[in-house]
């Protein structure tokens, strides 16, 4: 980085930038341009002389540039700007016409520097840097030309032909202005007046003449209007007379028509009544026919509906009877099948129960034959819950129980225990075996039961068919069935 700064390259770049800036500033200083309302006059060149047809013409060395830019040579050429804008100049001139009447004429002129290079050079030579002098010079020249033109004509011409006065002023002043490099775009007369009311007096005669003509015309118009009014009234009277006659004729026709209408009215009413009666008869006949048709339609509709109802009812009743018969038949079949099945089931159940009871009785007899005492004890143990139930049955039917005892509610349990004691004493006295003895020998009864089970398994169930039962077994089965 430092090597680059110490090298000559940065210096060369700086010099190039400075040279560019200097060239830019120099070009700006030597380049001049003119606006759209300006013109440049470039001076510094020598004038040229040329000979045309033996006459020597000198061409100015001044160069005129309009609406563009140009480079100038420094130290040898200079550029000056001059405005080309239009200027409105108010002019008031007091002068006497050729009849000696003093008039005051007001006008406005539009003045500007000419467009051609010679006019621009002439204006630059005289008014460069002094634009206000253009207004003053143009004002003086145009005022003089206006006064001169007023003196050459009369007031009536000025009043009636203002354009001619303006053209005369321009024709007189244009040459003087062109010598100064100026041009007039337009010149208009704004107003004409005089201090002695001459123009007003000139108008009075005309006004009187016009007023007189107007009065005559007014009288003539009034007379014509009156004549027209009279003619109109006459026409109105004639029209009213004609109208009255016409109304009378119309009234006559109306009365005649009214009389005819009055005479024709009863006849017309009679004819109308006849027509009404005929129409009523036709209406009554049509109404009767319509009512007859309605009654026939109603009767037929009712009969058809009743026949249809009876037919549908009969068909429905027949279908219902067939359905009911089928249902009753199926129901009876079902009931018969159920009764038969139930009877068969009852018979099978009775047969099975009888066979089972017979087998149980046989086994019990065999067990009694083998272990009679233990079996009796077992039966007595099985009866103990039923005995207890029978002892408590009277108490279960009691809704409200009042215990009168010093022991309270525990008296009930004592009573139950006393009942069991009485049962134990009864068994001991009648069978020689008490409840304690039964419970003590329950183990022996269990062994006896095992012996019975073994005895039952020794004999196969198929050796003895139900049909081969003994007469005692059959008797037992019948008894149980009954």
DSSP letter for each residue of 263-318: HHHHHHHHHHHHHHHHHHHHHHHHHHHHHHHHHHHHHHHHHHHHHHHHHHHHHHHH
Taking the CA atoms of 254, 258, 259 and 260 in sequence, report the sign of the dihedral they define.
positive
- pLDDT attached to residue 460: 41
Distances, alpha carbon 73 to alpha carbons 39, 121, 332, 441, in Å: 18, 20, 148, 165
Q: Please list, in sequence order, all residues whose beta carbon lies within 8 angstroms of the beta carbon of residue 65, skipping any fewer than 6 positions away.
A: 32, 34, 39, 40, 41, 42
Q: Which residues pair with 43 in a beta bridge?
A: 78
The helix/strand/coil state of 357 is helix
Q: Using alpha carbons only, give the angle 315, 319, 324 rounded to the nearest 5 degrees.
A: 145
pLDDT of residue 444: 54
Residue 180 CB coordination number (10 Å) = 20
CB contact at 8 A, 81 and 40: yes
DSSP characters over 334-349: HHHHHHHHHHHHHHHH
Query: What gap in Å lies between CA 111 and CA 130, rounded to an integer?
Result: 15
β partners of residue 102: 96
The domain locations on the chain are 2-79, 84-196, 357-396+410-481
H-only helix segments in 67-180: 117-127, 131-151, 155-160, 162-179
Per-residue tokens: 96: 């006497």
DSSP 3-state of 195? coil
The tens digit of pLDDT for each residue in 205-261 reads 777 777 788 888 888 888 888 888 898 889 899 989 999 898 888 888 888 878 777
Q: Which stretches in the chain have pLDDT values below 70?
A: 1-6, 46-61, 203, 265, 364-378, 380-381, 388-389, 391-420, 423, 426-427, 429-482
Residue-level pLDDT at 482: 30
- Please give the order of strands across the beta sheet that includes 182-193: 87-96, 102-113, 182-193
Q: pLDDT by residue (tens digit) across 154-212?
A: 888 888 888 888 888 888 888 888 888 888 888 888 888 888 877 777 767 777 777 78
Q: What is the pLDDT of residue 200?
A: 75
Tell me the CA distances in angstroms from 180 to 37, 117, 127, 187, 254, one per residue in order: 19, 13, 9, 18, 102
Fold of 84-196: Tetrahydropterin Synthase; Chain A (3.30.479)
Q: Which helix (H) or strand (E) holds 83?
A: strand 78-83
Give the pLDDT of residue 467.
Answer: 41
**Residue 479's pLDDT is what?**
33
Asked if 109 and 144 count as a contact pair (C-beta separation under 8 A), the reply is no
Phi-psi region of 137 (alpha: psi -120 to 50; beta: other; left: phi over 0): alpha
Task: Give the three-state DSSP class for 152.
Answer: coil
What's the pLDDT score for residue 404?
63
Rounded to whole angstroms, the Cα distance separating 433 from 423 reads: 11
Three-class SS of residue 184? strand
pLDDT of residue 466: 41
C-alpha 112/C-alpha 176 separation (Å) is: 14
Degrees (nearest 5) of the Cα angle 177, 182, 185?
100
CA distances 165 to 147, 162, 191, 313, 378, Å, are 10, 5, 12, 130, 175
């Amino acid at each position: 980085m430092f090597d680059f700064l110490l090298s000559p390259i940065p210096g060369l770049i700086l010099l190039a930038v400075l040279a560019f800036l200097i060239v830019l500033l120099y070009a700006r200083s030597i380049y001049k341009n003119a606006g759209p309302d300006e013109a440049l006059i470039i001076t510094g060149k020598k004038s040229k002389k040329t000979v045309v047809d033996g006459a020597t013409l000198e061409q100015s060395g001044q160069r005129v540039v309009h609406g563009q830019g140009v480079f100038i040579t420094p130290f040898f050429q200079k550029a000056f700007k001059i405005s080309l804008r239009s200027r409105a100049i108010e002019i008031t001139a007091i002068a006497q016409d050729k009849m000696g009447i003093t008039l005051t004429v007001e006008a406005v002129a539009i003045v500007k520097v000419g467009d051609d290079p010679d006019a621009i050079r002439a204006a630059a030579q005289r008014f460069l840097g002094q634009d206000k002098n253009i207004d003053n010079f143009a004002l003086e020249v145009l005022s003089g030309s206006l006064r001169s033109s007023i003196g050459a004509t009369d007031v009536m011409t000025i009043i009636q032909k203002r354009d001619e006065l303006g053209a005369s002023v321009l024709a007189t002043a244009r040459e003087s202005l062109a010598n100064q490099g100026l041009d007039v775009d337009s010149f208009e007369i704004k107003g004409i007046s005089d201090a002695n009311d001459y123009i007003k007096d000139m108008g009075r005669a005309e006004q009187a003449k016009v007023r007189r003509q107007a009065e005559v015309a007014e009288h003539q118009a009034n007379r014509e209007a009156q004549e027209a009014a009279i003619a109109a009234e006459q026409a109105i009277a004639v029209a009213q007379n004609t109208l009255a006659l016409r109304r009378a004729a119309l009234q006559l026709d109306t009365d005649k028509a009214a009389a005819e209408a009055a005479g024709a009215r009863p006849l017309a009413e009679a004819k109308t009544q006849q027509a009404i009666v005929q129409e009523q008869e036709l209406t009554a006949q049509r109404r009767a026919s319509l009512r007859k048709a309605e009654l026939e339609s109603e009767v037929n509709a009712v009969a058809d509906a009743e026949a249809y109802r009876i037919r549908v009812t009969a068909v429905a009743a027949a279908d219902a009877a067939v359905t009911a018969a089928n249902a009753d038949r199926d129901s009876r079949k079902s009931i018969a099948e159920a009764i038969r099945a139930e009877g068969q089931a009852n018979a099978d159940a009775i047969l099975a129960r009888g066979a089972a009871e017979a087998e149980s009785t046989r086994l019990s007899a065999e067990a009694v034959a083998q272990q009679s005492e233990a079996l009796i004890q077992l039966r007595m143990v099985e009866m103990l819950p039923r005995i207890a139930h029978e002892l408590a049955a009277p108490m279960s039917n009691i809704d409200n129980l009042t215990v009168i005892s010093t022991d309270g509610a525990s008296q009930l349990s004592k009573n139950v225990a006393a009942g069991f004691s009485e049962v134990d004493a009864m068994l001991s006295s009648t069978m020689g075996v008490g409840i304690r003895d039964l419970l003590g020998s329950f183990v022996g009864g269990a062994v006896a039961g095992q012996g019975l089970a073994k005895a039952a398994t020794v004999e196969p169930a198929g050796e003895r068919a139900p049909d081969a039962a003994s007469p005692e077994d059959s008797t037992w089965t019948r008894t149980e069935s009954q």
